[in-house]
Amino acid sequence: MRSFTVAVALLVLSAHVEASKVTPVQKVIQLMQGMLEKGKKEKHEEQVQFAAYKQFCDDTTTEKARAIEEQAEQLKIAAAAETDKLKTRAKIEAGVIKARAEMEATALKEKAEAEERARLQAEEELRLEEEALAQEKAKAQKAQEAREAAKALKLGKELAQQQAKEIKRKAEQELKRQRYEEALKAKAEEESKAAKAKAEAEAQALRAQAIAEAQALEAKLREEAEAAAKAAKELAEAEACAIRARAEAEAQALREQLEAEKAQLQDLKVEASWEVLAEDEDWNLVA
């Protein structure tokens, strides 16, 4: 019985639709179609906007990664420049120390040579004095032999003793002088060797210190660059994920809103159909 009633209602409704040009149902259908087109258009716009957001996120990530790489490269260049600067300074300081040591060694050598020349000159003057003294003694001896023949032996003996004493005294003085000169020369050589060894040790220590400082600075700059790159990369990824999640949430909300509007339109369509049926006099008679 109910199926028959529904069939009759549909026949009456179709007849009523054919009788009128624009029925409320058609208006509802047109309204629903318009809303559907509007929903499709808004969905397309949201898709375009989401694609733009995604492109913006990708461009931002690429740009930040490139900036991080450029900054890291600049830090490496700065570290290399600082290392070269430290090495150059160490070389210059080592060269200055070496030059100073060579100058000191040269001065000590010149001093020793000057003392050696003075010693040789003193020996030459002493030799000349001895020769002059020997000549004077020979002349005095000949004169004494001519004047005093009787006292020649005695005077000769005394003179020989005096000469022996004088020669012994001069020999002792010469030996002392030679020992003193040898001690001075040995001291000068030791001071020269010590100064040269000290200069070389200081230069080696400065080179080692400069290399250690350069290596420590390079390692520190490398660690800072890596930490900065890692932090920037993590920040960019977090921002991209947040933007992507927000866009997906907005798209989901829009989809839910469209579904709700579709459900509402469906309800409106059913209500409009029942209202048309209720207004139809033939339907009321059948009911």
What pLDDT does residue 279 have? 59
Residue 21: what are its φ and ψ, rounded to 5°? -75, -50
Give DSSP secondary structure letters for 186-253.
HHHHHHHHHHHHHHHHHHHHHHHHHHHHHHHHHHHHHHHHHHHHHHHHHHHHHHHHHHHHHHHHHHHH
- pLDDT mean by block of 10 residues, the chain; 287 residues: 45 48 82 88 89 87 85 83 81 82 84 86 86 83 78 76 83 84 84 82 83 84 83 82 83 84 77 61 47
Tell me the C-alpha distance between 97 and 99, whole Å.
5
What pLDDT does residue 12 have? 45
Spatial neighbors of 195 by CB under 8 A, at least 6 apart, are: 101, 104, 105, 108
Spatial neighbors of 202 by CB under 8 A, at least 6 apart, are: 97
What element of type H or E holds 100?
Answer: helix 24-147
